[in-house]
Structure 1
C-alpha cells in the first residue's frame, strides 16, 4: 500500500509540473514578442526557470510514486539547495532595498528621487548597465502618456501623480527651476540654478529628455526596490510551501528505504 507521504509528494509535484508549462510557454512567447532589450533579457531566465521546475517535479514524481530512492534523494538534495538559495536571496533582497525613498515636494503631486539615497550595490549595477537600460526605457516610451497631455496647464501638471520613472526621466529636477512649456518641454530662465548636474543633462529632445540624469537612475532604483520587496514577500510564502514539501519528501524517502529493506529481507 502506497503511504500517505508518497501520495502527497506525488500530488504536489503534479501541481508544480503543471505550473511549469505556462512558465515555459510565457518565456517562449516573450522571445517571439520581444520588442525591447528588457523583454529580450527576460525570456531566457523565464524559460530556464520553467524547465528547472519541470525537471525537479518529474524527479520528485517518479521518485515518490515509483519508489526510486536514489531519484528521490536527488530531488530532496535539489530542494534543500533551493530552500537555502531562496533564504539567502530573500534576506539579501530585504537588505539592499532597505535604503532610499522619494522626496516629497511642497505643492507637488509627485516625488523626486536622489540616486545616492539607494543601496551602493544597486547603484553599481545600474551604472554598469545604464546604456542598455537607457535604450530599454526609450523603447518602452514611458513618457508617452505625458506627451499625450501637451495642453496640461502648469498647475494641473504640478498636482499630477507621476511614477518614479516619469518623475526622474521625463521632466527636469525641481532644483533646476526651469519654466514649464508642456510636460516634456521646459526652458531655462534667469533664475534657473545649475548646481544639480541633472539640469545640464536635460534636453527637450524626446529621445533624450532626462534619460541621462541621475534622477532617472534613481527612479529606476525606486521601481526595483518596490518590485524586489514584493518578490521577497512572495519568496517568504513560497519558502513555507517548499519546507512543507521537503518535509513530506523526507518522509517519503524514509518510507522507500524501509520498503526496500523489507523486500531484501523477504525475497
Structure 2
C-alpha cells in the first residue's frame, strides 16, 4: 500500500505540474508573439521557470507514486537547492530594498526621488547603460507620462499641479525636479529658465515627449522606488512559499524512507 507521505507528495507535485503548463505556454507565446520589448523581456525567465517546475514535478510524481527511489533523490536535491536559492534571494531582496524613500517637498503633494538615497547595488544596475536602455524602453512603452498629459486640463498652473499626488515614476520621469524652477506649461511641458543648475537633471530635461526626464537620475530613482514595493511583496510571498517547500521537502524525505523500506521487504 502506498503510504500517506508518498500520496501527498504525488498529489502536490501533480498540482505543480499542472501549474507549470500555463507558465511554460505563456513564455513560449511571448517569445513568438510579443509585440514590445517589455513583453519579450519576460519570455526566457518564464520558459525556464515553467520547464524547471515541470521536470521537478514529474520527478516528484513518478518517484513517490511509482516508488522510484533515485527519482525521489533527484527531487530532494532540486528541492534543497530551490529552498537555499529562494532563502538567499529573500534575504537579498530585503537588504537591497531597505534604503531609500521619497523626499517630501514643502507645498507639494508629490514626493521627489534622489538616486543616491538607494542601495549601491540598485544604483549600479540602473546606471549601467545597457540595463537602463532596456528599462527606459519599457517605461516609455508604458505611456504613463502620456496619460498624465491627457489630464493636463485639470492643472492650469504650477500651483494646481503641485496638488497632484504623483507616483514615483510620474514624479521622477515625467517632469523636471522642483529645484530646477522651470516655467510650468503642462504636466510634461516645462520651459527652461536661464542660468546654471546645480542639479544635472535640469540639463537632461527635455519637453520632447520621447525624452522628458527618462534619462534623469530622478527617473532612475523613481524606478527603483517603484521596484522596491514589488520586491518587498515578492519577498513576503517567498517566505510563505519557503514554509510550504520545507513541509513538502520533509514529506519527500519520508517518501524516500518509505521506498527504502518497501525495497527491503521486496528482497525477502
TM category (shorter chain) comes to over 0.9
2:246 to 238, 243, 248: 243
Structure 2: unaligned runs, 5 residues or longer: none
Please say if 1:196 is aligned against 2:199.
yes
2:166 to 159, 162, 173: 162
2:146 to 125, 134, 144: 144
Q: TM-score, normalised by structure 1?
A: 0.95
Please say if 1:179 is aligned against 2:172.
no
1:3-42 equivalences in 2 (<5 Å): 3-42=3-42
Q: Is the 8 A contact 1:175 1:193 kept in 2?
A: no
**Superposed CA offset, 1:45-94 (max 9, x none):** 01110111011000000000000000001001110011011111100110
Secondary structure of 2:190's match?
A: strand
Structure 1: unaligned runs, 5 residues or longer: none
**Superposed CA offset, 1:162-214 (max 9, x none):** 12111100000011111111011111346x76111101111110001001100
RMSD of Structure 2 on Structure 1 (CA)? 1.3
Q: Matched residues in 2 for 1:33 and 1:180: separation?
A: 41
Deviates more, 1:127-136 or 1:13-22: 127-136
Q: Matched residues in 1 for 2:23 and 2:137: separation?
A: 27
1:211 to 200, 209, 214: 214
Secondary structure of 1:180's match?
A: strand
Q: Is the 8 A contact 1:165 1:219 kept in 2?
A: yes
1:95-174 equivalences in 2 (<5 Å): 95-128=95-128, 129-151=131-153, 152-154=155-157, 155-174=159-178
Q: Is the 8 A contact 1:177 1:193 kept in 2?
A: no
Please say if 1:258 is aligned against 2:241.
no
Over 6 Å off, 4+ runs: none
Match of 1:66 in 2: 66
Q: TM-score, normalised by structure 2?
A: 0.95
The total of aligned residue pairs comes to: 264
